[in-house]
Chain A
Amino acid sequence: MRIPAAILTLLAGMALVLTGLWVGQNINLLPEDASLNAPVYDELFKVLFSIGTILLIGIAGLIVYSLVRFRRVNGDHGDGVAIEGNLPLEILWTAIPAIVVLFVGIYSYDIYERMGGMAPLNDHSMHAMHGDAAEGRTWAGISPVAQGADASEPTLPVEVTAMQFAFIFHYPEADITSGELHVPVGQPVALTMKANDVIHAFWVPQFRLKQDIIPGQPTLLSFTATKAGRYPIVCAELCGPYHGGMRSTVIVDEPQTFADWVAQNSPAPAPAAPTAIQS
């Protein structure tokens, strides 16, 4: 007696799911995570990766199995079995993907909220944190900090100007202008971004954050870095011939190192203003 096909299928299915889960949890395709919301993103990635692996291996397996098991033998001019449909089966494979897709959608909504993506634009907390006046509408923004933002946590405001083909960072409080973004570990940073000419995008892969900077639309992006280090800032919207070269660096420092940097780079205090021009 042979093992019933149903049991073999069940075992194959279980092996498939376990493989998918293992792959999702253990095969790391992402760069290191260096911001508060990055691990949240990675959770979602692992779930999607598991589901995807299960589906791909399952379907590839079915194709290969069919091509082997049901291949036409030479000289056989007969037909296969005339099955035109199977309503219960079709309902099953409509319902299961629908449920999976719904689950993925709701789960990703939860992830998005935890990443701060659902922060309403034009919200007072966004403006307050970013320091700029309520001039005009707020156009964009991921604000992980707005979600559950601690009023006592000071945020570091930075003004970002994107132009062909560089990012310029200006620290309004310390009046520093720099080509690189220095931030302290663990402190929320609020970027107010604008573009001078064409659409650019601010992307730090290690933060899992990206935001288009569109001319005419002030754009807000907030994050909290969690690991000291140097990470690339990549322009992620075609902006002209030097688009590939439009990069910068975000340097995440320990708080003391950051404070030193601010102190060293702040402009010298202005000399006492002359009261009159002496001729």
Chain B
Amino acid sequence: MTLTLSPASPPPASLQPQGWLRYLSFSTDHKVIGLQYLVCGFLFYLVGGALAGAIRTELLTPISDFLPRETYNEVLTLHGTVMIFLWIVPVVNGAFGNYLIPFYVGARDMAFPRLNAVAFWLIPPAGLLLISSYFIASAAQSGWTAYPPLSLTTPATGQIIWILSVLLLGGSSIFGGINFIATILKLRRPGLKLMQLPMYCWAMLGTSILVVLSTPVLAGTLVLLSFDIIAHTGFFNPSLGGNAVVYQHLFWFYSHPAVYIMVLPAFGLVSEILPVHARKPLFGYTTMVYSIMGIVFLGLIVWAHHMFTSGTPPWMRLFFTIATSFIAVPTGIKFFNWLATLWGGKIALNSAMLFSCGFIFNFVFGGITGVALAQVPFDIHVHDTYFVVGHFHYIVYGGTVFVIFASIYHWYPKVTGRLLNEPLGQLHFLLTFIGFNLCFAPQHWMGLNGMPRRVAEYDPQFELINQVSSVGALLMAISTLPFLINVVLSAYRGAPAGDNPWNALTPEWLTTSPPPVENWHGEPPLVEEPYGYGVEPGELSLAATSGREIWAVGDPDRKP
């Protein structure tokens, strides 16, 4: 008797987009969402960079001769807002966080995948809304800080659009924060303890706590500001009985933690990159965790160091000086730990490592000027000058953006399955490092000697040094080219990377490049020692270390 099997019915036509179309869809896959955040964020980076180019072009001469004055103020407002809310916060949190965290906790996806997709899809409309305000009416022109009464007297439409856009972006950030906290605390695979997590998880946990606690305060403040603009209430309008300084307190209660929201994830990413390319464990895991928590706690109680000239009482200024100064201690610990991770290693001088080392140098520079700014008497002279502009660009660009680049060089092989071109990457690093320092180092001198910020015209004594700074900015713009060429060409012609080109130990490297939809074929691996690099003391003639099992990562014949 023959048995006739009816042919399997063809699979139903897929309702899910396939291939690259997934990246334009409402996908709930954390890897897709992570890349959506990354590419979208990078596009806004280019927009923000163009705005910066306009600023540096205006500043080539001491008079206002490039843009109409109102337009210049719109440009500087949009530059800050775009860079913070549409580039850095979404990328270090949303892009890398979403891509990596599920791998690190041994999960197939984030805790709330649909919330994740919603959080991402808030960003493009909010960003387009913000940028379109420039073309609709006029964009906001009171700076990204939107201090009243100025923000109450400039054209209302642009300011309201700005408020709406920031509210949407803040909401996106909060949804992301909720997702990260739940995933890290609740979704760890069985057997994986908190103190076995890669450091990036701790960094994202701390960051998400800051997001959840501080972003809502900004939302409430902007709602009150919008009432002042639309309904003519007087919350922050002194002529109606209100208080402009209360706005500053509320605004900075979020916006100071915001800088840690921009920087802590970068700290986490560096902690992942350095051990792999130095072939050594991350130094001081436990103190790194405590430092992150210390920074989170202190970060919430230092906001008024942005207000030292606003008429706060002397005791308040003193408190905030001391508290701000203390953040240098846990931050310093992290930097010494990274240096100790490099020390005695076998350091590969590749692009990821170069950008990481550039980060260390730049951030230490920015941190030094930060400790100086924390001191009230010092700040009195340099508040609202180019000294501050120099300081924070060393932190956000020299710090976080350098880490973003390092991370792209590090994880591109995992995401695409191909290696980036190393010589192009090193050229990218050189141009970026030189251009960046050339642009922002002179700005400290400008501020010390009398140039305020947010101006299109300045004392002619600053003309030459401004031109030097603008040349640096041009170099930074040019440096984007080798990077873009590299990223695009390598996607098609890069050398195949294999599963684990860096011989790394964290879970994302223990699967294919690119990973499958379910992250691993089979069970998620349990990695109890994510930084288990290094050889036993007996094999090297050095001072004793803790005895531990060898993970023969160095053996080229052994499969990871």
Contacts and interface: CB of A to CB of B under 8 A. Distances in A.
User: Do A and B have CB atoms closer than 8 angstroms in the complex?
Assistant: yes
Interface string A224-256: 000000001011111111111100000000000
A194 B285 CA distance: 53
B371 A217 contact: no
A108 B375 contact: yes
B280 A77 contact: no
Contacts of B459: 232
B64 to A, nearest CB: 7
B311 interface: yes
B285 A67 contact: no
B463 interface: no
Given A82-B281, A215-B239, A31 B449 contact: yes
Interface in A76-105: 76-86, 89-90, 93-94, 97-98, 101-102, 104-105
Contacts of B445: 29
Number of contact residues on B: which range applies?
35 or more
Nearest to B536: A82
Contacts of B458: 244
B357 A67 contact: yes
Contacts of A94: 287, 329, 332-333
Contacts of B64: 244-245
Nearest to B338: A63
Interface stretch (B187-195, B377-385, B396-404): B377-385
Give the residue among A104, A197, A241, A245 with the most B Cβ atoms within 10 A: A241
Contacts, number: 304
A241 B448 contact: no
Contacts of B450: 31, 205, 232, 234
Contacts of B348: 71-72
Place the interface of chain A in its size category. Answer: 35 or more
Contact of A59 (B153, B361, B380, B534): B361
B46 interface: no
A44 B377 contact: yes
A56 B238 contact: no
Given A62-B339, A80-B346, A214 B310 contact: yes
A80 B340 CA distance: 12
B546 A84 contact: yes
A216 interface: yes
Question: Chain A binding site: helix, strand, loop or mixed by DSSP?
Answer: mixed
B545 interface: yes
A60 to B, nearest CB: 6
A41 B381 contact: yes
B185 interface: no
Contacts of B454: 238, 243-244
A232 B347 CA distance: 52
Contacts of B540: 81
A117 interface: yes
Nearest to A83: B545
B556 interface: yes
B376 A217 contact: no
Interface in B277-323: 278-287, 309-311, 313-314, 317-318, 321-322
Interface stretch (B139-147, B201-209, B219-227, B510-518): B139-147
Contacts of B455: 243-244
A10 B109 CA distance: 52
A76 B345 CA distance: 12
A66 interface: yes
B321 A109 contact: yes
Contact of A41 (B322, B357, B377, B384): B377
Interface of B: 64, 68-70, 72-73, 141-143, 147, 149-150, 153-154, 238-239, 242-245, 278-287, 309-311, 313-314, 317-318, 321-322, 325-326, 328-329, 332-333, 335-337, 339-340, 342-349, 357, 360-361, 364-365, 368-369, 371-372, 375-378, 380-381, 383-385, 444-445, 448-450, 452-459, 503, 531-537, 540, 542, 545-546, 548, 553-556
> Lowest 4 A-B CB distances belong to which pairs?
A82-B534, A216-B238, A140-B311, A244-B455
Given A52-B371, A139-B311, 10 more contacts: A70-B343, A78-B535, A79-B553, A81-B540, A108-B378, A199-B149, A212-B311, A214-B311, A235-B452, A244-B458
